[in-house]
Homo-oligomer: A and B are copies of this chain.
């Protein structure tokens, strides 16, 4: 089994190194190969998603991705900026289903900005459609405004769109995931305003007929943003489009106060996937050995479960992570009085030790 390792920028290399260490400690034989991506891709090959990197990702069974972005690339033209790498990988690999669990580990309940009773035991799964919507819809650009009171001025414009098949397949992912959990799906849309999301609601409702054992609720995106703050534990699985999912999944992750703990998976139609931490590249702390590697290590666990058919190994890693938390080890982002502060490498080593 071949795994493409794309460390990227900022803290990407150091956290990815810990996940690789953990994978190597499992006693399996994975073929791993690394390549530059994001700013590192631009620096080495003049493009955030170099051809070689894309080819490696396509040829692999799964991709382990660190994070991309650094201040030094902020002034590049948009097409060359690091985040184009992740958009390009999603599109080129057809990774349409983004799974982002928002889980609050009992040991870390204090890290949340929300009151403990509101978030303790939080365990929701956000499923974000990842290759459609206004992210990729055409036409888009800056043009002369064709009509209305601003006709003749310049205007920026984009196209939101979802085709029936795109909605169907992500709805299936959500209903099937719900069956393995609490059997409830909240489909988030803006059907009261957008044609795209009235259509989304209609199709999700249709697909739901095949899953009568799963409870389906529709919710407007503004209300969903409120309910995530008010009573997040009421959700089980949330399914939504690319744009709304970008916003809601980050808000949900932040509810836990420990975004350094949260993995994600982005899957294609055949369960090939790209796995990355939910947090970013944090260039401000890069190279200091203080970044939390657990989100990346847990992303590797998701990879074993979803793409490599090694669910027991995934369990082993997840249990090892729970064990190090129980031992009281904490990187600075989740440190609290009474726990033991450790660095990136020590945390990775502790997970390796806990595997045994």
Query: Could you list which residues of chain A lie within 8 angstroms of chain B, going by C-beta atoms?
Result: 78, 81, 83, 87, 113-115, 118, 134-135, 137, 140-142, 145, 148-150, 153-166, 190, 192-200, 221-223, 225-226, 228-231, 243-244, 246-251, 253-255, 257, 259
Contact A162 B153 (CB under 8 A): no
Beta-carbon nearest neighbor of A84 in chain B: B192
User: Once the chains are docked, how many angstroms separate the CA of A135 from the CA of B145?
Assistant: 16
- B-chain residues with CB within 8 Å of residue A83 when the two chains form the complex: 192-193
Asked if residues B153 and A164 are in contact (CB atoms below 8 Å), the reply is yes
**Residues of chain B with a CB closer than 8 A to A137's CB:** 157
Oligomer: number of copies: 2
**Cβ contacts under 8 Å, A159 to chain B:** 157-160
- Whole-angstrom CA separation of A225 from B231 in the bound complex: 16
Known: A140-B195, A156-B196. 17 other contacts (CB 8 A): A113-B230, A140-B196, A142-B199, A145-B164, A150-B165, A153-B163, A153-B165, A154-B164, A156-B195, A157-B162, A157-B196, A221-B247, A222-B247, A225-B250, A226-B253, A230-B254, A251-B251
Question: Closest CB-CB distance, A337 to chain B, in whole Å?
Answer: 15
User: Given A195-B142, A222-B246, do A161 and B157 touch, yes or no (CB 8 Å)?
Assistant: yes
A250 contacts across to B, CB distance below 8 A: 222-223, 225-226
On whether the beta carbons of B115 and A156 are closer than 8 Å, the reply is no
Q: How far is the CA of A150 from the CA of B158 in the complex (A)?
A: 19
- Taking CB atoms, residues of chain B closer than 8 Å to A223 are 250
Interface centre among A141, A150, A223 (most CB of B within 10 A): A150
Given A87-B193, A225-B251, A250-B226; A154-B160 close (CB under 8 Å): no
B residues near A162, Cβ cutoff 8 Å: 155-157
CB–CB A154/B199 < 8 A: yes
Question: A116 — nearest CB in chain B belongs to which residue?
Answer: B115
Question: Is A225 a contact partner of B200 (Cβ separation < 8 A)?
Answer: no
Can you spell out 19 A-B residue pairs with CB atoms less than 8 angstroms apart? Answer: A78-B198, A83-B193, A113-B229, A140-B196, A145-B164, A148-B163, A155-B161, A156-B196, A157-B160, A157-B161, A157-B195, A158-B195, A159-B160, A160-B160, A190-B246, A221-B246, A225-B247, A226-B254, A247-B247
